[in-house]
Chains A and B, each alone.
Chain A
Amino acid sequence: MKNFIEVTELKKVFGNGKDEVHAFGPATININAGEFVSILGPSGCGKSTLMLMVAGLLDSTSGKVEFESKLVNGPKTDIGIMFQDNTLVPWRTVKGNIELQLELRGLNLKDYQDQIYNILKSVNLEDFAERFPNELSGGMQQRAAFCQAMIHDPKIILLDEPLGKLDAMTREKIRADFQKLWMVKKPTVIFVTHSIEEAVQLSSRVILITPRPGKIDREIKIDLPYPRDLKVKRSTKFIEYVNSIQEVFHKYGVI
C-alpha cells in the first residue's frame, strides 16, 4: 500500500553556477494520514524549503512529491498553511480573516458561521471575532491565524514555525490548543520547528534534519499517550526523548 504522502529523493538547489546553494536533500519521507510529523532541525537547514516543496508552493530541483499516489506539480489547494509571520490582513477583523480563507476558495460563508464561532471558541477567541489583528497580542494573532488555516477542514496542515516569535508561556498555551484541535479533527500535520521540546510534545514522529544541506539524520517515533499535558512532559520517557534528540544535534555541533 502506498503512503498518504510520499516524498522521494527530493532535492532543492537555489541559484546556478558559482552562486549555487544546495539548500536541501536529497531526502525520502513517507507520511501516513492523520500523523503529526515534526521536521526538526537547526535554522538554515532547509526545513521550510522542504515544507513548501511538499505543498507544491516551491519547485524542487529533483525528486518528487506524491499525495495519495498523485504527483504534486503545482500549489496544492486542499491544505491549510501557517507561518511564523501570520497571514492575517490588517483590513479585516478576526472573523473577516477567517472568512478570507473561505472567500478565496469560493465557499459559501453562510454555511460556515457556526463553525467559525466554534473554532474561535476552541482557542478562546470568541469575544474577539470583531476585533482587528492589530488590536490583538502576538499570541492571539497566531491563534486567529490557526483558525484561518483550519476553517475549511483541510486534510493536511502545514505549520512553519508558527510559534517562533511568541514568548514561552504563550507557546505553551497554543501548543495545547493545537493538540486539542488535532486530536478532534485528525488532519495530517507537518510541523516545522527548531524547538526539540515542542516537537516531542506534539508529534507522533519527529524527523531530524542535519545542518545545510539538510538531509534526514533519523526518524524518531514518539510513543507517548495523548493529550500530552504537563504530567507527560515531566515523565522520564519524555525527558529521554528530548535528551536523545539533543545528543544528535550536539554531535553536529549545532548545540
Chain B
Amino acid sequence: MKKFIKWILSGWMLILFFVGFFLFWEYSIPLFDIPRYILPAPSEIFLKGSADLDKLIYYTGVTALETVLGYIIALILGLGFGIAISFSSILRRTLYPFFVSIEMTPKIAFAPLFISWFGFGLMPKVIIVVLVCFFPIVLNAILAFNSLSNELTLFYQSTGASRLKTFFTIRLPAALPQCFVGFKYAAINATVGATIAEFIGSDKGLGFYISIVTGNMRPDLAFAGIFFLTCLGLSVFGFVTMMEKILIPWHISMKRINK
C-alpha cells in the first residue's frame, strides 16, 4: 500500500497530464464544433466501444496470436542467426551484408506478396511479423556477441576454458543487454507488422476491424480498436521489459547507479 501511494505520488505529473489530455479532447469537440464523423469524444468512444466489446476482445486475441507467434519465431531465428554469424567468419562475409542490405528495405512492402502467396489466414501475418522483428533482433545480437572487451577475451583465453564453457559463462551474459535492445525494438515492430498485414488482407483481427469501421464512417469504433491495439502493444513491450529485469537485473541496477 505504501509502495502504491509512493508510485502514485511519483507519477502524479504523468497522471495529471493524461487526465488533462482527455478532458481537453472531450471538451474541445463541442467547443470547436468538430463533427463526430471526423473525431469523436473519448466518452463516445468508450460507450460505442463497450457495445462492441465481444468483437473487440475476439479480434484482440486474433491479432495477439499473430503478434506473439511471429515475435517468438523471430526471437529464435534472430538469436540463432546472430550467434551463428558472430562465430563464423564465412557467414559474417556472406549472410551479414545480405541482412544489412535487406534491413534497408521496408519489410512491410512484402506484405501484399505474402497475402497473394499464402492467402488470408494466419500464416502470412505471422511471416510479416517475423520479418519486421527478425532484423532488429539479429543485427543487435551480432553487435552484442562481437563487443566483448579485449581484456575479457584475453582473460578467458588464459584460463584454457572450452569454447562452450566460455560461451555460457562469459559471452552470453555479456551479450544480453545489447540483445535486449533488439528484443525491445522488435516488440514495438511486432504489433505494427500484424496490424498492417491485416489492413492488406484479412477477415479478422484488430487491423481488419479498424479498416472496416473506418470505411463505414465510424471513427469512434476505429479509436476503440486503436485503444485495444495500444493495450496489446504495451503488454508485449511490458513483458519483454519484465524479462529484461528478471534475466539481467545487474544491468538495470548498473544503469540506475550510473545516472
Q: Which residues of A contact B (CB under 8 A)?
A: 52, 55, 57, 75-77, 79-81, 83, 85-87, 89-91, 100-101, 103-106, 132, 134-135
Contacts and interface: CB of A to CB of B under 8 A. Distances in A.
Interface string B151-162: 110111111110
A230 to B, nearest CB: 32
B151 A75 contact: no
Q: Is the interface of B mostly helix, strand, loop or mixed?
A: helix
B149 interface: yes
**A-side interface mostly:** loop
A105 B161 contact: yes
A76 B154 CA distance: 11
A105 B151 CA distance: 17
A104 B156 contact: yes
Nearest to A134: B254
B159 A104 contact: yes
A25 B165 CA distance: 36
A86 B155 CA distance: 10
A100 B160 contact: no
A105 B173 contact: no
Nearest to A83: B151
Interface residues of B, number: 24
Contacts of A85: 149, 151
Contacts of A75: 157-158, 160
Interface in B67-99: none
A77 B250 contact: no
Interface centre among A76, A83, A104, A134 (most CB of B within 10 A): A104
Contact of B173 (A52, A80, A81, A91): A91
Contacts of B157: 57, 75
Residue of A75, A76, A87 with most chain B CB atoms under a 10 A cut-off: A87
Contacts of B154: 52, 55, 57, 81, 83
Given A52-B154, A134-B257, A101 B159 contact: yes
A52 B150 CA distance: 12
Contact of A77 (B149, B159, B173): B159
B251 interface: yes
Given A52-B154, A81-B155, A104 B250 contact: no
28 contacts: A57-B154, A57-B157, A57-B158, A75-B158, A76-B158, A77-B160, A83-B154, A85-B149, A87-B151, A87-B152, A87-B155, A89-B152, A89-B170, A89-B174, A90-B251, A91-B251, A100-B170, A101-B159, A104-B159, A104-B160, A104-B166, A104-B169, A105-B159, A105-B161, A106-B165, A132-B250, A134-B254, A134-B257
B248 interface: yes
Interface string B180-216: 0000000000000000000000000000000000000
